[in-house]
Structure 1
Amino acid sequence: MGNPHSENRSEQKVFGKAPLGRRSGRQSRRAALKVMLVFGTRPELIKMLPIIREAGEREDVELITVMTSQHTDLVRSLAKEWAIPVDYDLEVMKHAQSLNDVISRVVGRIDRVLEEERPDVVLVQGDTSSAFGSALAAWQRQIPVGHVEAGLRTASIDSPFPEEANRRLISRIASFHFAPTLSNKNALLAEKVPAQGVFLTGNTVVDSIRHVMGQRRPSKPVASLISSLKGRRIIVLTTHRRESFGSVMCDRLKVLRRYVEERPDISLVFPVHPNPQVKNLARAELSGSDQIHLVEPLDYPDFLHVLAASWVILSDSGGIQEEAPSLGKPLLILRDETERPEAVSCGIARLVGQSAQRLQEELLELDCPKSWATKVGEVENPFGRGNSAARILDILQKRQTVARAVELAAAGTVQ
């Protein structure tokens, strides 16, 4: 791969108790484009992986990776598994932290990195506190921000919370808006985002899914689980959002258990999120059934293989709304609103909301021989063709080339 790290290691910097671990030195020759790429959660890293891989193949791109560790075990284990070279770890995670705690530590700690590295552009992904804090810090240093997965919107700034506000705020300060779909692009233009900075690129998650499914087999435990359920209708459940906590999640799990146990040919696989509000309810409502498999969070390749083996997916996740059409699987979205209406409009998904009664009705409809779910294999993926990372870097390199030419001309270097 291009851009090999040198053997020299710079001095570790410590801000408070959290080391900003500069893992390796940089090239002695500055590349034409210096990109700082930030991620803090597993979904962010999954969607940034294609850009990391693509940048590594380009000799004229220098990549600096910054991990905020907004999520600790999940993102770190994935970075280690995929051998992602992490140049800085901000280590912002603390027990019982507030959203303001996260953002303030991200802004303060990444500001030191920005001062030292002075990248040409900072890439953030999606709508996390890490993405917003990093974008804000870069903007305040007048460093251009590139927003990967820009333009997703719901009708309310409070739903989902705080993600909807985060992505809207990033859109006000970013210079490059990489919109996955035409509706995302149109949403940005409707908000008067300058058209010259909005680009239709597709979603990098499609790049990741194609790479992972083509290169990785399931682990032995997951292959064994899938094999043991062969011939059964597998429901895969994921749920972790704040609006799902408490009675909403409890009522859903009761409906699901009853539905599964009334149908001997169905099994439920639930990779349980580590949040105690999810773990405790899952244990209370779903334990003790031979048809229900509560499993630890899966690594990404294993998770994709489980999704690929499913009959139907139930989730309140945003990312799964993109993964389901990429794998040709029907999806029931356990949310009131979605920022990915393409999944619904293309026929791959249905929006269930928070009502347990509505969930029961949708599950019963799936039993019909001519259910909508039987036609999802014919749906074209609305989220792209798997070349989004290359398009994003092409755009950045082209803009940087033009900007450098203008600088040289202004300085009288170019006649």
Structure 2
Amino acid sequence: MTIYGTRPEAIKVAPVIKAIEKADDLESIVVVTGQHREMLDQVNTMFGIIPDHDLNIMSAGQSLNGIVAKVISGVDRILELEQPDAVIVQGDTSTVMGAAVAAFNRQIPVIHLEAGLRSGNIDSPFPEEANRKLTSQITKLHLAPTETSKANLVHESISENDIVVTGNSVIDTLLYATKLEVEFSDERLQKLQEQRNTEGGVGRVLLVTAHRRENLGAAMADIGNAVADLARKYDDLTIVFPVHLNPKVREAALPPLEGLPNVIVTEPMAYAEFTKTLSLVDIVLTDSGGVQEEAPSLGKPVLVMRENTERPEAVLAGTVKLIGTRRERIVDEVSLLLDSEQAYAAMAYAVNPYGDGVAANRTVEAINWKFAGGLRPLDFGV
């Protein structure tokens, strides 16, 4: 049984679900909590995944504890009905932690995709860092995306015999999605794509995403002001900013951008549109975790508006740079990449450490090894 609730989770479990469906000796049960709604459904539709159960837990203004309570109670009813042999969760959301606890309390083995990510700060990202650590304590099979993630788990006294390094399935999905023919719902992006396909048809393009809970408030206002500063500084720069639905994000980030002709503010994009947009841009400015993995696969430098990251491999590889959320620092770091060919090339041509596009197959092999006596797969990178 695979349980997930948000778009980032869906993006990473989708290729795993499809691989399970192809396996002769595995039966797939799909459960969604609906922690995200439209964005989650878009990914399921893209992959042709029809959930067997949908908890549809979200309601306006509910607390983190309210979400977790609904997940645990809702998942518990489905576990009692379906009696799965194992439960798969992915990542670090409230859905992940709640579903893992529900499975553990019924003594059903938990399989954790993207296990072992750590920032080292229990309060940042919040609540994701705590969700990851709590889930690791009750997991039977840890599927780590990198050797660094595996080392984090071993450092926490988790047996190497319970860990397989699979690579990250986000690369499987990214490579699939970038091959799709995409018609943008926003005509401005459609025009940008057409201009990109014409030599000299458009200048440089910056993609901005911002949504993290710890960046709400003054930090988000700094982000909005920095983006406005960049728009005024570079006439030839087009900035694409798909704005999160959270009203606190919009209230802080959007006012400085009003009336700027080279800033394209859009609604959140469907995943296929977002990956196509990634392929069109030159630089990515983000506070997202998943984008830190995706963009380097397409050769895009990533500037991360956070003070720490649970994905240090990309920082060490040089594909990602942590820059915080201070307005002046954001402007300076983006300007460096726009003004210096050497600085840009150093990030654009660094090697992405996150995957090779077959993490889903390794995941199925690991499940068969751990629970059905199959051969242990070789770790990614070995």
Using the size of structure 2 for normalisation, the TM-score is 0.93
Per the alignment, residue 152 of structure 1 pairs with: 117
Report which structure shows greater RCO (CA 8 Å, sep ≥6). Answer: 2
> Which among 179, 186, 192 is matched to residue 225 of structure 1?
192
Cα RMSD (Å) of the superposition? 1.5
Partner of 2:38: 73
Please say which of residues 371-380 and 176-185 is displaced more in the overlay: 371-380
CA distance 1:286–1:321, change in 2 (3 Å) = same
State the 1:228 CA deviation: 4.4
**Alpha-carbon separation, structure 2, partners of 1:394 and 1:367:** 44
CA distance in 2: counterparts of 1:219 and 1:359, whole angstroms = 28
Matches within 5 A, 1:2-401: 36-219=1-184, 221=187, 222-228=189-195, 230-401=201-372
2:338 & 2:371 partners in 1: Cα distance? Answer: 54
Deviation at 1:262, TM superposition (A): 1.9
Identity of aligned residues (%): 39
- Structure 2 residue identity aligned to 1:54: A
- Distance in 2, matches of 1:109 and 1:343, equals 37
Give a deviation string over 1:43-81, Cα, whole Å, max 9, x none.
Answer: 100000110111121232100000000112221233234
CA contact (8 A) 1:365 1:371 kept: no
Please say which of residues 324-333 and 355-364 is displaced more in the overlay.
355-364
Q: Which amino acid aligns with 1:290?
A: P
2:141 and 2:370 in contact (8 A); partners too: no
Which residue of structure 2 aligns with residue 4 of structure 1? none
Q: Please state whether the residue corresponding to 1:367 is helix, strand or coil.
A: helix
Letter in 2 for 1:232: G
Show CA shifts across 1:282-319 (max 9, x none): 43111211100001111111101111111100000000
Offset at 1:237? 0.2
- Secondary structure of residue in 2 paired with 1:62: coil
**Partners of 1:324 and 1:330 within 8 A in 2:** yes
After superposition, the C-alpha distances for 1:84-130 in whole angstroms (9 at most, x for unaligned) are: 11000011111110000011110001101111111111000000000
Amino acid in the other structure paired with 1:141: R
Deviations 1:136-176 (A, max 9, x none): 00011110000000000012111000000000000000001
The separation in 2 between residues aligned to 1:120 and 1:355, in whole angstroms, is 48
> After the TM superposition, which of the residue ranges 100-109 and 69-78 deviates more from structure 2?
69-78
Distance in 1 between the 2:93 and 2:298 partners? 25
CA distance in 1, matches of 2:190, 2:23: 36
Identify if the C-alpha distance between structure 1 residues 51 and 323 changes in structure 2 by more than 3 Å, giving closer, same or farther.
same
Alpha-carbon distance in 2 for matches of 1:228, 1:402: 54
What amino acid is aligned across from residue 178 of structure 1 in structure 2? Answer: L
Give, in whole Å, the separation in 2 of the partners of 1:167 and 1:140: 18
Question: Which one-letter code corresponds to 2:237 in the other structure?
Answer: I
State the distance in 1 between where 2:344 and 2:80 align: 52
Structure 2 counterpart SS, 1:304: helix
SS at match of 1:174: coil
Amino acid aligned to 1:375? A
Q: Which moved more, 1:133-142 or 1:347-356?
A: 347-356
- Matched with 1:30 is none
- Report the Cα offset of residue 218 of structure 1: 4.2
Contact kept, 8 Å, 2:42 with 2:271, in 1: the verdict is: no
Question: Deviations along 1:326-370, whole A, 9 cap, x unmatched?
Answer: 111001100010000111111111101122222122123223334
- Looking at structure 1, the residues matched to 307 and 346 of structure 2 have their Cα atoms a distance apart, in angstroms, of 24
| SS of equivalent to 1:298 | coil
- One-letter amino acid of the counterpart of residue 203, structure 1: N
Of the structure 1 ranges 204-213 and 259-268, higher mean CA displacement relative to structure 2 is found in 259-268
Structure 1 or 2, whichever has the larger Rg, is 1
Letter in 2 for 1:68: T
Q: What amino acid is aligned across from residue 305 of structure 1 in structure 2?
A: K
Counterpart CA distance in 2 for 1:216 and 1:172 is: 42
Q: Is the CA contact (8 Å cut-off) linking 1:218 and 1:301 kept in structure 2?
A: no
Q: 1:375 offset after TM fit, Å?
A: 2.9
Q: Deviations over 1:13-60 (max 9, x none)?
A: xxxxxxxxxxxxxxxxxxxxxxx0011000100000110111121232
Q: Residue 41 of structure 1 contacts residue 74 of structure 1 at CA under 8 Å; is this kept in 2?
A: yes
**Alignment-mate amino acid for residue 244 of structure 1:** N
SS in 1 for 2:27: strand
Q: Is the 8 A contact 2:319 2:352 kept in 1?
A: no
| 3-state SS, counterpart of residue 100 of structure 2 | helix
Using the TM superposition, give the Cα deviation of residue 256 of structure 1 relative to its aligned residue in structure 2, in angstroms.
1.8
Where does residue 379 of structure 2 map in the other structure?
none
* 8 Å Cα contact 2:145-2:168 kept in structure 1: yes
Q: Aligned with 1:63: secondary structure?
A: coil
Gaps of at least 5 residues in structure 1 are 1-35, 404-415
2:179 & 2:208 partners in 1: Cα distance? 24
Runs of 5+ consecutive residues of structure 2 not aligned to the other structure: 375-382
Contact 1:330 1:348 in 2 (8 A): yes
